[in-house]
Amino acid sequence: MLEFRKMHIFWLLIVMLLVTGCGHAAVENVTDDMQESEASDTKNPDEETEPIGGVETMEYYTYYTSVLSKDLEYRLACSDPAAGMMSKQLEISKDDGESWETVEDLSDTIHNYPCDMCFVTEKEGIVLTDYHSVREYVYYTDDGGKSWTGMYPGEDDDIYSNGVSVTYDAEKDIVTIRSTAKISEDDVFEEREYESMDHGKTWERRAL
């Protein structure tokens, strides 16, 4: 009888150990699954995309920004076009973007739709536009944005051109614009690149 009780207790202990061990493993698996699920649902703030090329869209405005220094930056605030009309306000900041002052309302000065902007100096800047009924797609200022001159870097037989980007190489002191020119009524477009050695006053085509 004593032998039977010993064997009974022995097997009871074995069963308890097995049950306890399985229960512990199950808890670990659930915990691991929950951790993996939480990790997959957690957004890494470093993965958020930052505005590229000084272009930022907020609510009903798109801002094209050109930073010359911490104490001087320009931005062109363009509203969403409505019935073919677009508000274009050139603004300046001298406190690292904390506050902005209006330089000039360019709504009736710069035609078409702006797509990029670059100031080379405090006074000299270029605004690039997409085609919207007006042939000139490059606008140049040498008085800090108060007045602008429209121009068409391209060929005489082009139908029109769309601006793509404008950049400034400070080391070489060269401004470069990229554009696409419509050269045929059959919707044939040609990629172009033009350089300026005088900060945007004149342009020469560069072979691609």
Q: What is the DSSP pairing of strand 72-79 with strand 88-93?
A: antiparallel
Q: What is the pLDDT of residue 105?
A: 96
198 part of a folded domain: yes
Each residue of 158-194: pLDDT tens digit?
Answer: 999 999 999 999 999 999 999 999 999 999 999 999 9
Residue 201 sits in which domain range? 55-205
Question: pLDDT at residue 33 above 50?
Answer: no
Where does the pLDDT of residue 58 fall: very low under 50, low under 70, confident under 90, or very high at 90 and above?
A: low
Percent of the chain with pLDDT over 70: 71
Counted domains in the chain: 2
* Whether residue 196 sits in one domain with residue 156: yes
Mean pLDDT of 3-7: 46
46 part of a folded domain: no
47 part of a folded domain: no
* Whether residue 119 sits in one domain with residue 68: yes
48 part of a folded domain: no
Distances, alpha carbon 191 to alpha carbons 77, 151, 158, 168, 182, in Å: 27, 18, 12, 19, 9
200 part of a folded domain: yes
* Whether residue 117 sits in one domain with residue 61: yes
* Whether residue 161 sits in one domain with residue 130: yes
* Whether residue 115 sits in one domain with residue 17: no
What is d(CA 145, CA 122) in angstroms, rounded to the nearest whole number?
Answer: 9
Where does the pLDDT of residue 21 fall: very low under 50, low under 70, confident under 90, or very high at 90 and above?
A: very low
* Whether residue 149 sits in one domain with residue 196: yes
* Whether residue 198 sits in one domain with residue 105: yes
